[in-house]
Amino acid sequence: MNTSNRYSELLQQYPEYMTKDQMYKVCHISKKTCLFLLENGLVPCIDSGKKTRRFKIETNAVIHYLEDRDLRPELYKPPEGFYKKKPSELDRALTEIDLRIMRQFFEAALKRYPDVLTTKQISKFTGYGESSVVRWCSKQQLKNFYIKRRFSVPKEYLVDFLVSWHFIGISVKSETHRKLNKQILLLLKSHN
């Protein structure tokens, strides 16, 4: 089968440019691999630096990548260990003392917040989107009261959640969550 004919239907299906989401689906690769290819210039693109719709990729560049990948797959392989999760120091087994110190840290950090918080306030404190907070509440990972079609979370329930594995074990952490973890790690080291 002729390679150029093989991918010609992509030109008909997609406009001149495509997004990262379209690219990883078309190329049958993971989101992480796609990000690696784009950030390292292996597939030319326009990077706006925004959080959403960050990349603008020429459809022709994707076709070139697909053709070249068939010929030289080793060129597009991420480095060894690329897919391994980098463990946080908080991923270790936490002792009762560690959890008590974490609880005190979060109680102090939440002092200026009201006794019952909204999903918006929790989103601001944790750095996760409000939709994530709503999901935690809906799944009852974060205990709450559902009043007038809104989730209300007593501060005590939020602290319980923040020291639970539902929160600690989040694999892709927000920037705020990482900053909180750094502060907690410093606190835990000073107590050892």
For all residues of the chain together, what is the average pLDDT? Answer: 88
Identify the bridge partners of residue 147 per DSSP, sorted by sequence position.
150
Residue 1 — pLDDT band, cuts 50, 70, 90?
A: very low
pTM of the model: 0.56
Helix (H, G, I), strand (E, B) or coil at 88: coil
* Per-residue model confidence (pLDDT) at position 92: 58
Amino acid at 32: K
Report DSSP state, residue 28: T
Report DSSP state, residue 172: S
Based on C-alpha coordinates, what's the Rg of the chain?
22
- pLDDT tens column, 108-146: 999 999 999 999 999 999 999 999 999 999 999 999 999
Structural domains present in the chain: 3-76 (1.10.1660), 89-191 (no CATH)
Euclidean distance between CA atoms 89 and 115, whole angstroms: 30
